[in-house]
Copies of this chain bind each other. A is one copy, B any other.
Amino acid sequence: MKQTLIRNGTVLDIAADGTTATPIPQQDVLIKGNRIDAIQATGAVDARHFDRVIEANGQLIMPGLINTHAHVPMVLFRGLVEDMPIDRWFNEGIWPLENNLEPEDVYWGTLLGMIEMLESGVTTVADHYFHMHHSVEAIEKIGGRALLGWAIFGSLGQQAVNDTADWVEEINGSGTSRIRAWMAPHAPYTCDDDFLRATAKKANQIGVGLHIHASETKAQTEASLSARGITPIQVLEETGIFDQPTLLAHCCGVNERDIEIIAKYQKHEGGIAHAPKTYLKLGEDIAPVTAFREAGIAVGLATDGAASNNTMDLWEPLRLMSMLQKDRLGAEAMPIPQALHVATRSAAQVVGLADDLGAVEVGRLADLVLVDMSGIHHTPLHQIPASLVYNTRPTDVTTVLVDGDVVVENGRVTAIDRDEVVSQAKARMERLSRNRPDQRIQTYNP
């Protein structure tokens, strides 16, 4: 088994209960195969015993960040639809644009988004999109970790449930341990109850979880209540979605009873994805992250798609989450250790890898990020955790490992030709930006 040594870093120790975040200086991290084998004071091992030695030189060693909900290929649409409320954003903007999407766009868009994520320290993404065989190909090539969902709408019928379930089984059975798949019905407002039930049943049969948009806005909750007397979260409960591990995207529109329901079904896998930048930009409600955590629900950070979020790094959502909880609840809400807990351990649970990711600990997968905190914007570095949350730039990330493999070195992905990806993205711009609102893939009318 390949052995890797990360020498002389400051290990960030985030307590399992989220109450503390402690930097431990002058540590060596020893990796055997794809897992952390030991963490110890630097200097005790002979570097010659390792296949690879990474000199941390005092940089921070932290767990890879986890993007718990994205539509990665949508980087190809970024900046095209701005300053619009959610209904117009969907109906006049994104859903007409997505009508231009061709399968191969997903390959290049995924590579483009993965470059941005990996180079800023995001090692795992829970992606929810179309033509996902191309996503698999791209993520394998660049060396990331992913939990993928092939998005389906109710209008596609049972065949889509069966087809995507076959694909999920194929992925999970392929031995590609970095890439797993769950079922991915789009949302309660685009999937009728029978379709949700069929998807839940299928997920149960094949033993996987579900990744679904849920209660994105208060208006969705109100529309559901007014149309049928129950909330979108209650719809998910009634249709059996919650009987499997569930990754719920957004949940900005939940009421107190919804929170109780979600908490009741919280499992060792699954939770809520929180994408604060997107929902701020849309002027919608902000998910009650603190209430979720108090109820025992796992929450992770997310970017959503770059068509709404513009960027794919998680440093901005990390501090947005913290600051918005303070905005809603006061300055003592979401203290720094909690924020880091959301970004790491809690997010690992959301994507179903609570025991494998989210901490620099012996036995966990070696998905690790080295952060250079010597920049002017961190100086003087009185408090590492504070600076990590409120000062870090994506460009502070220098080295990224996934499964013990170095996938980013000197701030650049190692496995692919970046210039080719940029060229491919540019070549697609004109076609992808054609907007014919009468030709859209769905209509937003929750």
**A130 within 8 Å of B (CB atoms):** no
Do residues A379 and B336 form an inter-chain contact, with CB atoms below 8 A? no
Tell me which of B281, B331, B387 contacts A331 (CB under 8 A). B281
A382 shortest CB reach to chain B, Å: 4
Q: Which of A359-390 contact B (CB under 8 A)?
A: 374, 376-377, 379-383, 386-387, 390
Q: Which of A60-87 contact B (CB under 8 A)?
A: 75-80, 82-86
With the chains together, A286 CA to B50 CA distance in Å? 53
With the chains together, A323 CA to B280 CA distance in Å? 5
Do residues A377 and B311 form an inter-chain contact, with CB atoms below 8 A? yes
With a 10 A CB-CB cut-off, give which of A82, A277, A330, A383 has the most chain B CB atoms: A82
Chain A 74-106, CB-CB to B under 8 Å as 1, else 0, gives 011111101111100100000000000000000
Q: Size of chain A's interface in residues, with CB distance under 8 A?
A: 62
Do residues A336 and B82 form an inter-chain contact, with CB atoms below 8 A? yes
- In the complex, which residues of chain B have a beta carbon less than 8 angstroms from the beta carbon of A75? 379
Do residues B425 and A310 form an inter-chain contact, with CB atoms below 8 A? no
With the chains together, A323 CA to B284 CA distance in Å? 11
Do residues A83 and B425 form an inter-chain contact, with CB atoms below 8 A? no
**A287 within 8 Å of B (CB atoms):** no
- In the complex, which residues of chain B have a beta carbon less than 8 angstroms from the beta carbon of A281? 322-323, 326, 331, 390
With the chains together, A101 CA to B129 CA distance in Å? 55
**A415 within 8 Å of B (CB atoms):** no
Q: Which of A8-57 contact B (CB under 8 A)?
A: none
Tell me which of B86, B376, B425 contacts A116 (CB under 8 A). B376
